[in-house]
Amino acid sequence: LNMDYPFNLKGILYFPKINTEYDSIEGTIKLYNNQVFIADNIKEVIPEFLMLLKGVIDCPDLPLNVSRSALQNDGFVKKISDYISKKVADKLIGMCKTEKESYEKYWDDISPFIKFGCLKDTKFCDKMNDYILFKNLDDKYLTLPELLKEDEKAEENTDGNTEDTKAEDTASDSEEKDERKPIYYVTDPVQQGQYIKMFKEQGMDAVILNHNIDTSFISQLEQRNEKFKFMRIDANLTDSLKEENAEDAKEAEETLSKVFKDTLKNDKLTIKAAKLKNADIASVITLSEEGRRMQDMMKMYAMNGMGGMDTSMFAADQTLTLNTSHPLVQYILNHKDSEHVPMFCQQLYDLAVLSNQPLSVDAMTKFIQRSNDIMMLLAK
C-alpha cells in the first residue's frame, strides 16, 4: 500500500498460510502514525474481512489519540478502509491476469479469505467476481467465466442428439423449473467417488468446494447471477448418465417402488428406475440441492449452540434410482416374491447410501450382519 493523495498511507498486508480453516483465523494488522504504534486491528480503519490478514499500516494523517467513536463517524476513515479493500482486490486481479501460475499456487490458502471478503463487502465482490478460482476434477483452476465456457463445450459434446432427447431432458428435469445452468460441485472427492466416476465417463466435469464457507458463498453467487445454479454432484442424475429410450422403465419403476417401499418403510424415499450408462452400478442415492442445503444449515445452527432444534425434521428427501440394466435389479424384478428380496432391497439401499454418506452406527451394524448373511447364502 502506498498513497500520497487524498491521504498519506503506506503499508504491507499478507495472507497468512493456515493449516486448517480455523487455525489463526484472526490476523494482526498493526496501525502506526509516523512509526509510532497506535493499536492492533482497528476495525474502523481495516475492512472487517481483511482483519484475517496480517501486516502493518502507517498513516500519518490519523491523529495519535483518536477515539474509536470518532473513527466510526469519520468519512475520511471510511475512505482509507475503501482504499485498502480496493488495493487488495487490484493486487489479486493483477496476479490472476499476469501471474496466473503463482495465483493458482496460493489459491487454496487464500480462497477462504477472499470468499469471506465477497460475503462481507459488495464492492469487493463486484471486483473479484471474475477472478475467483474454482478447482475442477482434474485439478485445473478456472475462473467463473472460464467455468461457464467449459460447461457450454461439455454440453455441446454430451447434449442434444435429437429433439426427442431434448424433450425427454425437459420432462425429467421438470422438478427444476429454474432455467438456470447447473454448475456441479463436489464437497468430498473420496465419499462422492462413485458420482465422480459416472461424470468422468460421460465427459462431464465438476468443481471442488470443500470449505465450510463455500455453502454461503455459492448461495451469494446465485443471488447475484440468475444464469447459473450450483448443484452438488449427487443432487440428481442428469440425462447424460442415462440410456435413451428406456421404454420399460415406467413399468419397472412401479414394481420396484412397491417392493422397496414395503421393505424399507421410508416415507421420505422416492424410488425411480432408469437404465444407467454405467451397467456396473446397481443403485444410486440423490438428495435435492435445496433440501440438503437446508439440512446443512440446520446442523450448523445446532453446532453453534442453537440447541433444542430437531434437525431430523429438515432431512432432505432422498431419491433411490435403480439401474434396470443391472442383474441384481433384474433379479428383484423377476423374483419379487422371493424370501431373499427384502434382504437384497435393504442391501442395495445401504450400498447406495454408503456411496453418498457414512451409515449410522445402527445401520452399519445391520449392513455388516446382512453382508455376512448374503455370503452364507452363496456358501450353502
Read off the pLDDT band of 164 (50, 70, 90): very low
- In the predicted structure, residue 52 carries a pLDDT above the cut 80: no
- Dihedral sign for Cα atoms in the order 318, 320, 358, 238: negative
Contacts (Cβ under 8 Å, ≥6 apart) of 144:
129, 130, 132, 134, 221
Q: How far apart are CA 39 and CA 30, in angstroms?
A: 6
Q: How far apart are CA 204 and CA 188, in angstroms?
A: 17
Q: How far apart are CA 84 and CA 56, in angstroms?
A: 12
End-to-end CA distance of the chain: 77
Which residue is associated with the grid cell 494488522?
A: 29
User: How high is the pLDDT of residue 333?
Assistant: 93
Q: Considering only 162-176, 247-261, 276-290, 341-355, which range has the smallest mean pLDDT?
A: 162-176
Report, in this order, helix, strand and coil percent for the chain, each rounded to 5. 50, 15, 35
Contacts (Cβ under 8 Å, ≥6 apart) of 315:
268, 291, 295
Mean local confidence (pLDDT), 214-236? 91
Which residue is associated with the grid cell 461424470?
A: 199
Could you give the dihedral angle defined by the CA atoms of residues 97, 103, 107 and 111, in that order, rounded to the nearest 10 degrees?
A: -50
Give the highest mean pLDDT range of 165-174, 214-223, 242-251: 214-223
Mean local confidence (pLDDT), 118-138? 93
At 143, give phi and psi (nearest 5°).
-75, 170
Mean local confidence (pLDDT), 169-192? 72
Three-state secondary-structure class, residue 287: strand
User: How high is the pLDDT of residue 127?
Assistant: 94
Mean local confidence (pLDDT), 333-357? 93
Tens digit of each residue's pLDDT (9 = 90 or more) over 80-96: 888 889 999 999 999 99
- In the predicted structure, residue 98 carries a pLDDT above the cut 70: yes
C-alpha cell at 311: 434437525
Single out the residue of 270, 275, 271 nearest to residue 241, CA to CA: 275
User: How high is the pLDDT of residue 170?
Assistant: 40
User: How high is the pLDDT of residue 64?
Assistant: 61
Higher pLDDT, 351 or 18: 351
- In the predicted structure, residue 351 carries a pLDDT above the cut 90: yes
Q: How far apart are CA 106 and CA 117, in angstroms?
A: 16
> Which residues pair with residue 143 across a beta bridge?
133
Three-state helix/strand/coil letters over 84-148: HHHHHHHHHHHHHHHCHHHHHHHHHHHHHHHHHHHHHCHHHHHHHHHHCEEEECCCCEEEHHHHH
- In the predicted structure, residue 171 carries a pLDDT above the cut 80: no
Label the pairing between strands 54-58 and 133-135: unpaired
271 class by beta-carbon count within 10 Å (0-12 exposed, 13-18 middle, 19+ buried): buried
- Dihedral sign for Cα atoms in the order 328, 329, 333, 334: negative
For the full predicted model, state whether its pTM sits above 0.85.
Answer: no
Tens digit of each residue's pLDDT (9 = 90 or more) over 294-344: 877 777 666 666 555 554 555 667 899 999 999 999 999 999 999 999 999
- In the predicted structure, residue 160 carries a pLDDT above the cut 70: no
Identify the DSSP state of 224.
H
User: How high is the pLDDT of residue 159?
Assistant: 53
- Mean per-residue pLDDT of the chain: 83
In the chain, % of residues over pLDDT 70: 81
User: How high is the pLDDT of residue 245?
Assistant: 62
